[in-house]
Structure 1
Amino acid sequence: MTSFTSPSGNIGCYIDTDYVRCDIKERDWAPPPKPASCPDYTDWGQGLQLEAGKPAEVVCAGDTALTSGNPLAFGDTIVAGSIECTSAPMGISCRDVQHGGEFSLSRQAYHLA
């Protein structure tokens, strides 16, 4: 498993073969309502995750991906299995190049596909 951050440090991610999760410290958006499948003792909406072959989704977890990993410079991409993440001034984008799921995460907004 490899950890990385956005250059600003506002987004922290970890990526492993065919899985990525990114959490965000400060954001201007709110996640969708917490589903019943997310237990009360866990956090909801602090980030996004993508597993190969599945659609991207909002994170329900009691831990964090905000770590002290190395910054991924703007324009750089990190790859693990079929998952690749790219850093840009607008945020972090990750996609499953084999199966098609993806997400983008920034202070201003998030997108799931």
Structure 2
Amino acid sequence: MKTLVLLIVYIILSASFPLRTKAIVLDGNLDGSGAMKNGETCDTSKIQICFDGMLRGMQMSTTCCKNLKEQESCLCDVIKTRMIKSSVLSSRLNSCGITNPKC
């Protein structure tokens, strides 16, 4: 029983602290494929909250839209780890003026 509780706590905590990822621009094109300037770190924690709101069907706040635009090149990193319908994702990103990235 203790093992099960520890396992559940571990899963919750590991999901609460997403790993930072690095991406490199190969051709200078920021097309939403997970690329940022060479050596810059994608801070996906800022946009994880926005994706949580998307999953709950909430409207996108201006803060979320701003963060999504700042981290637009890292969207694929988050999309790959989230279970979200593409139609919901597309409509929410479009409401922020962001095109749906091709991951």
Higher helix share: 2
Higher strand share: 1
Length-normalised TM-score, structure 2: 0.26
Length-normalised TM-score, structure 1: 0.25
